[in-house]
Structure 1
Amino acid sequence: MPFINVKQLSGRSEEQNAQIVRALTEAYAGITGVDPEKIWVAVEEIPPTHWSIAGETFAAKKAKAAAEDR
């Protein structure tokens, strides 16, 4: 049973997440021929305060960008 795990920053709507799940399921089934009923997809939303790149959280990057735009 295939398991697809999506990790993304929080903030997308329920409908966007539903579209992501459907699209991934359809793509995987189309490429592999696996029955969509056997494909599991989990969407993990991570707050921007808990996800970082280059030693800086996305929340800090966003705050910095907003301050620079003033």
Structure 2
Amino acid sequence: MPITHIHLLEGRSVEQKQELIQNVSKAITDTLGVAPEQVRVLLMEIPKENWGTGGVTKAQLDQ
């Protein structure tokens, strides 16, 4: 059973996340030859104040 973890910044719509899960699941089923029911996709949404690059948070960059 393939399990995929995806970390992304919060703020995407429900529809975008559903499409992401669908597309990632299809890529895994096509590549590994497993049934869609075997695929797990876990989205981990990170608040912008908890995401930093170069010593600055994404929340600070957005200001």
TM-score (norm 1): 0.87
Q: Which runs of 5+ in 2 are unaligned?
A: none
Residue number in structure 2 paired with 1:10: 10
> What does 1:1-70 correspond to in 2, within 5 Å?
1-63=1-63
Higher helix proportion (structure 1 or 2): 1
Cα deviation code 1:1-31 (max 9, x no counterpart): 1100111000000010000000000011001
Aligned length: 63
Name the amino acid aligned to 1:41. V
Cα deviation code 1:18-65 (max 9, x no counterpart): 0000000001100110111000001111110000111110000111xx
**Structure exhibiting the larger radius of gyration computed from Cα positions:** 1
> Which SS does the other structure have where 1:11 is aligned?
coil
TM-score (norm 2): 0.96
CA RMSD, 1 decimal = 0.6
Query: Which runs of at least 4 in structure 1 moved beyond 4 Å after TM superposition?
Result: none
Q: Which runs of 5+ in 1 are unaligned?
A: 64-70
